[in-house]
Amino acid sequence: MPDGMMQQDNPDQGNQDNTAPLRLGKLHYAWIVAVTGSVAMFCGLGLGRFAFGMLLPSMSASLGLNYTQSGILGFTNLIGYLVAVLLSPFILPRLGTRTTATASLLLIAVSMFGMAFTTSFPILCALYVLTGIGSGGVVLPMMSVMSHWFFPSHRGLALGLVMAGPGFGIILSGFVVPKLLPISTLLSWQTGWLIFAVINIAVAWLTFTLIRNHPDDVSQSPFGRAPTLPVKNKKKLERSNIKLLVHLGVIFAIYGATYMVYVTFIVTSMVGSYQLSEAAAGGVWAWIGLLSMFSGMLFGWISDHIGRRLGLALAFFLPCHRLSVGRTY
Give the separation between CA 285 and CA 31, rounded to whole angstroms.
28
* Band of pLDDT at residue 14, cut at 50, 70 and 90: very low
- pLDDT tens readout for residues 283-312: 999 998 998 888 888 888 888 888 888 888
Mean pLDDT along residues 210-217: 93
Q: How far apart are CA 329 and CA 323, in angstroms?
A: 10
Give the start-to-end residue ranges of the domains of the chain.
23-225+260-326
> In this predicted structure, what is the pLDDT of residue 297?
86
Alpha-carbon gap, residue 110 to 100, rounded angstroms: 15
- 104-109 average pLDDT score: 98
Q: Which amino acid is at 94?
A: R
Q: Between residues 237 and 64, which one has the greater pLDDT? A: 64
Question: Is the predicted pLDDT of residue 166 greater than 70, yes or no?
Answer: yes
Q: What is the mean pLDDT of residues 255-276?
A: 83
pLDDT at 172 over 90: yes
**Across the chain, what does the average pLDDT equal?**
85
Q: What is the pLDDT of residue 20?
A: 42
Q: Which residue has the higher pLDDT, 308 or 216?
A: 216
Nearest alpha carbon to residue 47 among 211, 181, 202, 214 = 202
Per the document, the length of the chain is 329
Superfamily of domain 23-225+260-326: MFS general substrate transporter like domains (1.20.1250.20)
pLDDT of 90 reads: 92
pLDDT at 111 over 70: yes
The pLDDT tens digits for 43-93 are 999 999 999 999 999 999 999 999 899 999 999 999 999 999 999 989 999
